[in-house]
Amino acid sequence: MSMTNFLRTDFLRERFKDIAEAAEYLEYLLGLSGPERKKLLYRYRKRGFKTTVKDEMARTARSIAAKAKASAEFMDQLPSQPVIYTGPGDTEAVIRMLEALVTSALVKPPATERPGRKTAGRSGRTQRRAGAGGKEG
């Protein structure tokens, strides 16, 4: 695989999944009844974790906030706003196409309007634009 300036977004998908899982866990904790909380804490203590449901909720909320903040900070560091392509082609094919387009754009000199070039006038007929000497054609 060659070096590219186009970034795959797999890591973002994984980050969003992590955030969603943590949010679901927090929702689960919030919905526990008194006896269910005791069972959960018993299982944690059996594995060597000493915590409370309130501490576990706070830890999970901090985790969600940290992951979301880190994702936003990463996006802020990018030199341009990310673009998502929704057309045909797999990731590798799309990256090859984009690399080819960028390379060809960098090789071609920028288009400039040259004196004497034909343009459509107000009437729609082709006219000659004034050249360097100011004469009309």
Confidence tier at 105 by pLDDT (50, 70, 90): confident
Whether 90 has a pLDDT exceeding 70, the answer reads yes
Whether 113 has a pLDDT exceeding 80, the answer reads no
Residue 81's identity, in one-letter code, is: Q
Q: Taking a C-beta distance cutoff of 8 angstroms, is the pair 27, 57 a contact?
A: no
Confidence tier at 79 by pLDDT (50, 70, 90): confident
pTM: 0.64
Whether 128 has a pLDDT exceeding 60, the answer reads no
Place of tokens 């830890």: 59
Q: Taking a C-beta distance cutoff of 8 angstroms, is the pair 46, 38 a contact?
A: no
Strands (E), 2-134: 118-120, 126-128
Give the start-to-end residue ranges of the domains of the chain.
10-83
Confidence tier at 118 by pLDDT (50, 70, 90): low
Q: How far apart are CA 65 and CA 136, in angstroms?
A: 67
Q: What end-to-end distance do the CA atoms of the chain give, in Å?
A: 55
